[in-house]
Amino acid sequence: MSHPALVPQSVAVITGGASGIGLAAANHFAKLGLKICIADHDADKLARAAELLTYVAPGGSEDVMSLAVDVSHRNEIERLEAAVRARFGGADVLMNNAGIQPGSQMFGPPNGWQHVLDVNLWGIIHGTQVFAPAMIARGRPGLIINTGSKQGITTPPGDPAYNVSKAAVKAFTEALAHELRSTQGCAITAHLLIPGFVFTGLTSRGRSEKPAGAWTAEQTVDFMLERLGAGDFYILCPDNDAPRALDEKRIAWAAGDIIANRPALSRWHPDYAEAFRRHVEGT
């Protein structure tokens, strides 16, 4: 089964759609017969991506549009929504996927933190608040997918700004799902995409070949579509290094820090290394 919004002639809007998971999703949606709008901040990459999509979309260039957008600015998302409405009549699928990971330190420059939060969190809030009311009013089955991260759940040390942004995306998307299902007549569902290790421009870090442990963006989107069809809210993606069983143990340990009153991030605390190993191995 597939999600009822993923049908021919539905309209999908994907931010961060010029590359990586966003472009892979746009490609899959186009193959399903949806009309596609990709948005990204890089106009050149965006133009190349849109051209590629015209060869996949059944209606060719008539079914594909693109717009250079900075998701951190609400007025640009409003411009995007107006352009989609003018071209295709509105949106049925919204994938808030744009994100950055430049790296951060706890006491690093505040403008670096601000930029990460503006894109990764406020980009999703802007996208949802601008697009969702009109999507609900259409009265058609719809879909909002927000791209989170496992780092927003287990919050490993090393990149606190990114972790904070993705933890907030999780909380926001959970609240969104509740709001949508509590809205009378609403046929829109919300879902949190939680990728594993995916080889994209965001994660390549100068590498030209995919590491053995990583999935491709296409594998990730295949899994996403499968789980959307199953009705999952938390789309927890494995990869070649971390099967779901390992992710579940890591997530359970992170939640257990609160329940057991252990030190914060005890998974990385030397005094708990042996206990965590036993937890993972089930011994």
* 169-212 per-position pLDDT tens digit: 999 999 999 999 999 999 999 999 999 999 986 665 666 688 89
pLDDT digits (tens, 9 = 90+) for 1-53: 789 999 999 999 999 999 999 999 999 999 999 999 999 999 999 999 999 99
Give me the mean pLDDT over the 132-136 stretch.
Answer: 98
Is the pLDDT at 257 greater than 80? The verdict is: yes
**Are the C-beta atoms of residues 12 and 35 closer than 8 Å to each other?**
yes
> What's the pLDDT score for residue 210?
81
pTM value is 0.96
> What's the pLDDT score for residue 208?
67
Mean pLDDT, rounded, of the chain: 96
pLDDT digits (tens, 9 = 90+) for 93-119: 999 999 999 999 999 999 999 999 999
Selecting among 55, 162, 234, 272, the annotated active-site residue is 162
**Are the C-beta atoms of residues 96 and 143 closer than 8 Å to each other?**
no
> What's the pLDDT score for residue 205?
63
Q: Does an H or E element contain 193, and which? A: strand 188-194
> What's the pLDDT score for residue 283?
84
Active-site residue 234, yes or no? no
Give me the mean pLDDT over the 56-74 stretch.
Answer: 98
Domains observed in the chain: 11-241 (3.40.50.720), 243-283 (no CATH)
Bridge-based pairing state of the strands 93-96 and 234-236: unpaired
> What's the pLDDT score for residue 137?
97
Is the pLDDT at 129 greater than 80? The verdict is: yes
> What's the pLDDT score for residue 202?
63
Binned at pLDDT 50, 70 and 90, residue 226 comes out as very high
User: Phi/psi class of residue 140: alpha, beta or left (left: φ > 0; alpha: ψ in -120 to 50)?
Assistant: beta
Rounded CA-CA distance 44/24 in Å is: 17
Query: pLDDT exceeding 90 applies to what percent of the chain?
Result: 95
**Are the C-beta atoms of residues 243 and 18 closer than 8 Å to each other?**
no
Is the pLDDT at 89 greater than 90? The verdict is: yes
